[in-house]
Structure 1
Amino acid sequence: MDTPATGYDDVWIIVPAFNEASVIGEVIADVRSVFDHVVCVDDGSGDGTGDRAYAAGAHVVRHPVNLGQGAAIQTGVEYARSRPGSAVFATFDADGQHRVKDVVRMIDRLTADDLDIVVGTRFGGGRPPAAMPWLRRLLFPLIAKLSPASRKLGLTDAHNGLRVFNRTVADGLNLTMSGMSHASEFISLIVENGWKAGEEPVEILYTEYSMSKGQPLVNGVNIVFDGMLRGRMRK
């Protein structure tokens, strides 16, 4: 496949995807307009997601069955960290919610502040974005406050899927929660490993499509309790 020369030769973008055929080509093309290396983990899709991601220029790794977003991210990180010269990594949602320019700014922050990981936040100005559904405005800050690891790190957005991290984090990452609970696990791993973390305001694009793909709000509560249980088990 052709690879654009964009000056980010050491950056790999990991895109976990499940049944995103209608948008994945556009998402991959947008990412590759800035970043040379993208790996899409097709997590058991039945709609041709992997084929469309490959046609758009991504490396594609396929799960034969759906294992969940946590497992897909772990697979993607393992693939990316095995590639020669890989040094910076980012997780990026497949449904079009994330913006590439936010990733660029987070990479700059990672270097400038000598951090191991930068986590995106929807609440950087202290207020939820106007486009966010009101139930999520209430629930997401509560999830962050209930999470011991998030409180310790001072994070305001406990399960934002946009993250940028260095080789130290990539080499040490071992997500065992395969589903959406991986979000709390990721934050717990930051604390457990003593990785230096920062938070960067990002914009989430709440399109009709991305909202239709959203997880049930009750899953947020499950994420918190799974993360708290993990913390107790690790002690």
Structure 2
Amino acid sequence: MEKCANSEMTELAAKTWLVIPLYNEGKVVYDVLKEVRKTFPNIICVDDGSADNSGQEALKAGAYLATHPINLGQGAALQTGISYVLQQTDAKYLITFDSDGQHRVEDALAMIAAAEADDLGFILGSRFLEGKAETGALKKFILQTVATITRLRTGHQLTDAHNGLRLLRRDAAEKIEIRQNRMAHASELVNQLLKTGLKWKEIPVHIIYTDYSRSKGQSLWNSVNILTELIMK
């Protein structure tokens, strides 16, 4: 039975495309992609105007590559990647995944298993369902405030509205169009998904905060920007 389950999961992983925004991650993206491709062979990276060799490293690791000549923002990169998958492949699932090593393959596989078991149109990852998030106190407060605002505006119970690890079944992906290029895209994407009426759930995921990701020093400021943009809308 376990052997059959593993075989089925391998087939589902082959029907899944990872969409990975890429911006100045040349130092790590090759190693990240080589490891991820052991499980998920189909990856589209969108190089969003990187000033380094990110795109070349992604190609060297075996990913497909789309390129923005200038930096447009993560929302635009995600939309480019989603459009590519829908137009060029017969993927059953799309998973948005980070390029810096913070997301785990096992969490992505758990999303596919949950989608298959419960016939879900989309799944949102949450750092807070199990109470083990390694975020700082201020960042945790900001992100949970964002989730509360999203719950109040949409009527849907969320614990983590801005986690970059998400699964979209093909019919869910076909119903969204991200217009917000920068940090506000995450709220826009969640709102569009919730309006589809498709079955969904959150599942717990673990974010790996490496020395490299911490050294970029963007995480807390991004969270502040998300909250500011959401309140100003």
Structure 1 length-normalised TM: 0.89
* Offset, 1:85: 2.2
Change (3 A) 1:149 1:27: farther
* Offset, 1:149: 6.5
CA distance in 2, matches of 1:159, 1:118: 12
**What residue in structure 2 maps to residue 207 of structure 1?**
210
* Offset, 1:113: 1.0
The reply to whether residue 169 of structure 1 matches residue 172 of structure 2 is: yes
- Deviation per residue, 1:211-233 (Å, 9 max, x gap): 2333414213124226xx3xxxx
Letter in structure 1 aligned against 2:228: N
Change (3 A) 1:60 1:150: farther
* Offset, 1:47: 0.3
**What residue in structure 2 maps to residue 112 of structure 1?**
117
Letter in structure 2 aligned against 1:121: S
The reply to whether residue 187 of structure 1 matches residue 193 of structure 2 is: no
Cα RMSD over matched residues?
1.6
Change (3 A) 1:122 1:225: same
- Deviation per residue, 1:110-167 (Å, 9 max, x gap): 1111110000000112x252x2222112211111001246762211001000001101
Matches within 5 A, 1:11-26: 11-26=16-31
CA distance in 1, matches of 2:51, 2:152: 36
Q: Which runs of 5+ in 2 are unaligned?
A: 1-9
For residue 65 of structure 2, the aligned residue among 60, 67, 85 is: 60
For residue 144 of structure 1, the aligned residue among 141, 147, 151 is: 147
User: Tell me, what secondary structure is at the counterpart of 1:153?
Assistant: coil
User: Tell me, what secondary structure is at the counterpart of 1:82?
Assistant: helix
**Is the 8 Å Cα contact of residues 153 and 197 (structure 1) preserved in structure 2?**
no
User: Tell me, what secondary structure is at the counterpart of 2:17?
Assistant: strand
Change (3 A) 1:154 1:62: same
Change (3 A) 1:193 1:149: farther
**Is the 8 Å Cα contact of residues 107 and 164 (structure 1) preserved in structure 2?**
yes
Matches within 5 A, 1:1-150: 6-7=10-11, 8-125=13-130, 127-129=131-133, 131-148=134-151
CA distance in 1, matches of 2:25, 2:153: 30
CA distance in 1, matches of 2:195, 2:185: 15
Change (3 A) 1:15 1:150: farther
Structure 2 length-normalised TM: 0.89
User: Tell me, what secondary structure is at the counterpart of 1:225?
Assistant: helix
Tell me whether 49-58 or 132-141 shows the greater mean CA deviation: 132-141
Letter in structure 1 aligned against 2:156: L
User: Tell me, what secondary structure is at the counterpart of 1:172?
Assistant: coil
Tell me whether 192-201 or 43-52 shows the greater mean CA deviation: 192-201
Q: Which runs of 5+ in 1 are unaligned?
A: 1-5, 230-235
- Deviation per residue, 1:65-97 (Å, 9 max, x gap): 000000000000011112332111000011111
User: Tell me, what secondary structure is at the counterpart of 1:147?
Assistant: helix
CA distance in 2, matches of 1:146, 1:112: 30
**What residue in structure 1 maps to residue 227 of structure 2?**
221
CA distance in 1, matches of 2:124, 2:215: 24
Tell me whether 50-59 or 189-198 shows the greater mean CA deviation: 189-198
Change (3 A) 1:103 1:148: same
- Deviation per residue, 1:182-223 (Å, 9 max, x gap): 110011102222232210100001112212333414213124
